[in-house]
């Protein structure tokens, strides 16, 4: 098993990153957790209120492309591995400004891989189910499925996955990849689907739904993802890929209706808008490998987790 003694975590102030921070700080053998985060719009120190009081946690504001900084942190804290979550992740923004996604997701990861190789530390790449492209029901993509990304975002992540695998093939680097389905949970940025819908519903504003709203996503609670990422890092085979999903498929229109039901708002608030370019109809992943090889599976029932998120957002996003 790979050591969790001292970890450099990129993107640790983000949505999934802050959940992973909390999970890592529960690990009994952890001595140092070093967060490297540029603290842009998606990274927020407020996500770490509570854990930031832990003396094992060090939060460093910086760019993942700064190889000298990353190298300094690994040396100073004697890091045993890099868990790489920092990324530009919003599909709409990748359509508007794809260059930013190439710079951060591809070039930034390449820089970190170079640092990992120089110091001989393990490297976890956090990827997405979107790299597989649209999956026709009832098929689910296992880790051997071809990559068919549709957006600049998913193309940047697919490219990064291949670069990570090439680092192993060419240089023998210790790498492992996790591909996660759609996450939901507390501290999610307001640009994402569920917070956006709740925000609009609380203000009795129209809930924007792309196209028919029949696009299907597999929804997993962020805490289950955090546990999965730890399992992948610790137990995953070298240069292996592991899907992390919850077998919880919902259409976007179903998500909108559930939000409205929980907030006692009328379905007439749903407003269909012009569909997004290259909008994939369905994502679905087969998690058999993760269950069998890692002993991991999602635990949070969707209705329970979803209702908790709605309650939390109802407080933080309450009307002015």
Note if 161 is an active site residue: no
CB atoms within 10 A of CB 34: 22
CA dihedral 100, 101, 107, 108 (to 10 degrees): 90
The DSSP element (H or E) to which 155 belongs, if any, is helix 152-171
**The pair of three-digit structure tokens given for residue 148, joined into one six-digit string:** 């068919």
The residue from 37, 63, 88, 130 that is catalytic is 130
The DSSP element (H or E) to which 281 belongs, if any, is none
The residue from 129, 161, 218, 223 that is catalytic is 129
The DSSP element (H or E) to which 8 belongs, if any, is strand 6-10
Do the beta carbons of residue 82 and residue 10 sit within 8 Å?
yes
**The pair of three-digit structure tokens given for residue 68, joined into one six-digit string:** 């000298």
Strand 207-210 with 270-273, pairing? parallel
The DSSP element (H or E) to which 59 belongs, if any, is strand 57-61
Note if 130 is an active site residue: yes
**73-95 core/surface letters (b: 16 or more CB in 10 A; e: else):** bbeebebbbbbbbbbbbbbebbe
Note if 242 is an active site residue: no
Collapsing DSSP to helix, strand or coil, 198 comes out as: helix
Mind telling me the catalytic residues? 129-130, 153
């Amino acid at each position: 098993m790979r050591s969790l003694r001292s970890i450099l975590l990129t993107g640790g102030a983000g949505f999934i990153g802050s959940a992973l921070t909390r999970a890592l700080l529960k690990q009994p053998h952890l001595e140092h957790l070093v967060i490297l985060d540029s603290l842009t719009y998606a990274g927020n120190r407020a996500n770490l209120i509570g854990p930031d009081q832990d003396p094992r946690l060090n939060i460093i504001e910086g760019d993942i492309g700064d190889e000298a900084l990353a190298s300094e942190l690994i040396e100073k804290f004697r890091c045993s591995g890099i868990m790489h979550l920092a990324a530009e992740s919003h599909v709409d923004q990748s359509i508007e400004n794809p260059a930013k996604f190439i710079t951060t997701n591809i070039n930034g990861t390449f820089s970190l891989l170079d640092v990992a190789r120089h110091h001989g530390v393990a490297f976890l790449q956090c990827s997405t189910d979107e790299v597989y492209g649209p999956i026709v029901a009832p098929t689910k993509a296992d880790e051997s499925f071809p990559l068919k990304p549709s957006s600049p975002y998913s193309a940047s992540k697919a490219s990064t996955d291949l670069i990570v695998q090439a680092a192993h093939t060419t240089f023998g680097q210790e790498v492992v990849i996790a591909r996660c389905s759609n996450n939901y949970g507390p501290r999610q940025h307001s640009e994402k689907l569920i917070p956006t819908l709740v925000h609009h519903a609380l203000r009795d504003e129209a809930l924007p739904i792309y196209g028919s709203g029949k696009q299907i996503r597999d929804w997993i609670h962020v805490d289950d993802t955090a546990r999965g990422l730890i399992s992948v890092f610790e137990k995953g085979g070298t240069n292996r890929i592991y899907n992390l999903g919850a077998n919880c498929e919902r259409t976007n229109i179903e998500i909108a209706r559930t939000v409205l039901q929980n907030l006692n708002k009328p379905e007439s608030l749903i407003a269909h808008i012009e569909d997004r370019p290259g909008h994939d109809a369905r994502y679905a992943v087969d998690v058999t490998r993760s269950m069998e090889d890692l002993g991991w599976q999602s635990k949070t029932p969707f209705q329970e987790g979803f209702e908790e998120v709605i309650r939390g957002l109802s407080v933080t996003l309450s009307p002015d």
